Amino acid sequence: MVYSCESLQKLDLTVNFVGRLSSVESLKHNVHLRELFLVGNPCSEFQGYRQYVVASLPQLKFLDGAEIRRSERIAASQGLEEAKRQVWEQEKDYLQRRAREREEAQRKEAGEEKGNQERKPGFNGRWYTDINNTAPVLEENKENQDTEENVVNLDLDEARREKEFWETPCSFTPESRVEVHRHLEEKKKAKEKENEKKPKAPRTLITAEGRVMNVNEPKLDFSLTEDEENNIIVLDLGVYRHMDTSLIGVDVQPTYARVTVKGKIFQMVLPAEVKPDSSSAQRSQTTGHLVLTMPRAEGEIKVTKSVPLPPRGRQSSCTGLPEDNKRRPGVPERLDVDPGWRPALDLANIVPRRSANEGPLETSRRAPPPPPDHSSYSQGFLDDPDVPPLV
């Protein structure tokens, strides 16, 4: 059995199908073997089982958890020949019983395969509709009704067979254990096949209207904080501590942050607009958490209202030009000045002029101008009275 394990000290074969008790003699060469467990095996029900094992393996100290005393070992050695004879006879009966169990298992397996074929739709005429005996008007309704009944019958038969399989008593044999294992494998494959037929709908990350959704598929703990002093937003995501960093993907956008953890998406809408180019992602060496540091944008773009234009043909108050910039063909363009507009300095009235309706009486009433100061004139200066004085 385990001849090559020279340092073997304990061997546990609990609840197996060891029926040939004489095979324990192969453990004589394992000189360091101290404990052996054969509880739940067919050989443990043999008459003289303990006596045979104790006498065959003198190095054992415990058998099935019970200590082997010196007196028990001496008594087992004295009756070893009788114990061997009984064990060999019982082994012979066991092998014959096992041969019958194998044949019965083969017949049962063949009967189940035949029954599975009979249960297929259309085999015995119960699960299909005879279209020759149906009215043409009700043919479609009849087929739909038969299909629904077939589905219900299949579900009932499957539930009945499942109940019979687990409630029917059977002998504890290797074939029964293999049958249970095969049954569980078939149920698992059927469930996987059913899941493949119904693909899972993809999760919506951004709606058709452009709204970003909050998603936490990996079910991770997180915290989102705003640092007003440093003008940054910090996202602390509780990523698994011993997970490789290559399984993490980070995507920072101005209004949201997306992290992919082993194919599962974590998405969070940010409370303010950030700068993706200046953002950073770091992972803690102690906790394994992923920390995203995202600086906030300095300013937000605001929508400005459009100023309505004045009506066509209206002139500007400062330039006097018509606001309608379209040129009309054949009409010369002139610069028209608004008569109501005056500059700050009136250059036209620098020198006072005599009005046209001023009479000689009003002219004589004016005060004569002061005599000129000839001392300030240069030599050769000629004072012409027709020349107006300089102001």
The string of DSSP codes covering 89-111 is: HHHHHHHHHHHHHHHHHHHHHHH
CA within 13 Å, CB half, 18: 20
Per-residue pLDDT of the chain (391 residues; tens, 9 = 90+): 455 678 899 999 998 888 888 888 888 888 899 999 999 888 888 988 999 999 999 999 999 999 999 999 999 888 888 888 988 999 899 889 888 888 888 887 787 666 655 555 444 444 444 444 444 444 555 555 666 666 667 677 788 888 887 887 777 778 788 888 888 888 888 888 877 766 677 788 888 888 999 999 999 999 999 988 889 999 999 998 888 999 999 999 999 999 999 989 999 999 999 999 999 999 988 888 999 999 998 755 444 555 555 555 555 444 454 555 555 666 666 666 566 666 566 666 666 666 555 555 554 455 566 665 655 555 666 777 777 777 6
Contacts of 26 (CB under 8 A, 6+ apart): 1, 2, 3
Domain ranges of the chain: 10-97, 215-295
CB 295 within 8 A of CB 278: yes
What kind of architecture, by CATH, is found in domain 10-97?
Answer: Alpha-Beta Horseshoe (3.80)
**pLDDT at residue 257, rounded to an integer:** 94
- On the 0-12 / 13-18 / 19+ scale of CB atoms within 10 A, 60 is buried
CA distances for 90 relative to 19, 101, 125, 218, 365, angstroms: 9, 16, 52, 59, 167
The tally of CA atoms less than 13 A away on the side-chain side of residue 128 is 10
Number of Cβ within a 10 Å radius of residue 253: 15
C-alpha R_g of the chain: 55
Query: For strand 10-12 and strand 35-37, is the pairing parallel, antiparallel, or unpaired?
Result: parallel
pLDDT of residue 326: 54
Query: What pLDDT is stored for residue 159 in this prediction?
Result: 82
The secondary structure of residue 227, as a DSSP letter, is E
Please name the residue that has the structure tokens 């058709």. Answer: 208
The closest of 291, 292, 263 to 275, measured between CA atoms, is 292
Chain mean position to CA 164: 41
Candidates 71, 114, 70, 84; CA nearest to 20 is 84
pLDDT at 45: 87
Give me the pLDDT at residue 131, please: 44
In sequence order, what are the residues at sequence separation of 6 or more whose Cβ sits closer than 8 angstroms to the Cβ of residue 222? Answer: 216, 235, 236, 237, 238, 266, 268
- pLDDT at position 223, please? 92
User: How far apart are alpha carbons 374 and 366 in whole angstroms?
Assistant: 23
Give the C-alpha distances (Å, rounded to integers) separating 367 from 107, 372, 375, 383.
153, 15, 23, 20
The whole-number pLDDT of residue 358 equals: 54
Q: Report the run of H or E that residue 185 belongs to, with start and end.
A: helix 174-197
Query: Per CATH, is 215-295 categorized as 2.60.40.790?
Result: yes
Task: Return the pLDDT at 252.
Answer: 93
Selection from 129, 185, 119 nearest residue 155 by Cα: 119
Q: What is the pLDDT of residue 170?
A: 73
